[in-house]
Amino acid sequence: MSKQKWINLVSVYSIIYTVITLLNSLLYLCNGIYEDPSGNWHELDRAIILLIGVAAFELCTSLPIKPLILRYVVAYIPSQLLAFAYVWFTSLREPLAKTAYQDIWINFTGLFIVLSAANTIVGICKKKRERK
């Protein structure tokens, strides 16, 4: 990978992590919770799950598979399974919430859809620029 691609990947990861962390903190504060009840592990878990998603998305969506939607599915399925595996491994450290797998599915899928949409839009814009 080129240096610019690494810079873009780290930038995307950092921006998404910051936005997710800020939103999570705002939701806690709005609900009258002034400290993260899950503590530092929760922050590390969020960082690792996001790393799984961003890295898998970047690696798998570069595959030469047509159509684009199939490429996204090929990227999504193994990365979602890896996220589920990570959640399972966290259960060895502490008990999981009853909705842990549902939560990771919703959050991971939502993030993947946002990344897919952004990637598609960027790709369309690049093709339009190349045509001009």
Give the residue from 74, 76, 67 showing the smallest Cα distance to 115. 76
> Is residue 127 a part of any domain in this protein?
yes
pTM for this predicted structure: 0.81
> Is residue 2 a part of any domain in this protein?
no
Q: Give the pLDDT band of residue 24 (cuts 50, 70, 90).
A: confident
- Tokens 């859809």 locate to 113
Tell me the one-letter amino acid at 61: T
Q: Give the pLDDT band of residue 82 (cuts 50, 70, 90).
A: very high
Residue 38 pLDDT > 90: no
Condensed to tens digits (0 to 9), the pLDDT of residues 83-116 reads: 999 999 999 998 888 999 999 999 899 988 988 8
> Is residue 105 a part of any domain in this protein?
yes
Q: Is 84 exposed, middle or buried (0-12, 13-18, 19+ CB in 10 A)?
A: middle
DSSP state of 92: T
**pLDDT value for 4:** 86
CA distance 41 to 4: 31
Condensed to tens digits (0 to 9), the pLDDT of residues 9-19 reads: 899 899 999 99
**pLDDT value for 41:** 86
Contacts by 106-113, CB closer than 8 A, 24 or more apart: 107/49, 108/49, 108/53, 108/79, 108/80, 108/83, 109/76, 109/80, 111/16, 111/50, 111/53, 112/53, 112/57, 112/72, 112/75, 112/76, 112/79, 112/80
> Is residue 91 a part of any domain in this protein?
yes
> Is residue 9 a part of any domain in this protein?
no
The helix (H) or strand (E) run that includes residue 30 is helix 3-30
> Is residue 1 a part of any domain in this protein?
no
Give the domain extent around 119. Answer: 38-131
> Is residue 69 a part of any domain in this protein?
yes
Task: Say if CB 37 and CB 51 are below 8 A apart.
Answer: no
**pLDDT value for 88:** 95
Task: Say if CB 20 and CB 50 are below 8 A apart.
Answer: yes
Overall number of domains in the chain: 1
Residue 81 pLDDT > 90: yes
Q: Give the pLDDT band of residue 121 (cuts 50, 70, 90).
A: very high
> Is residue 31 a part of any domain in this protein?
no
Condensed to tens digits (0 to 9), the pLDDT of residues 50-68 reads: 999 888 888 777 788 888 8
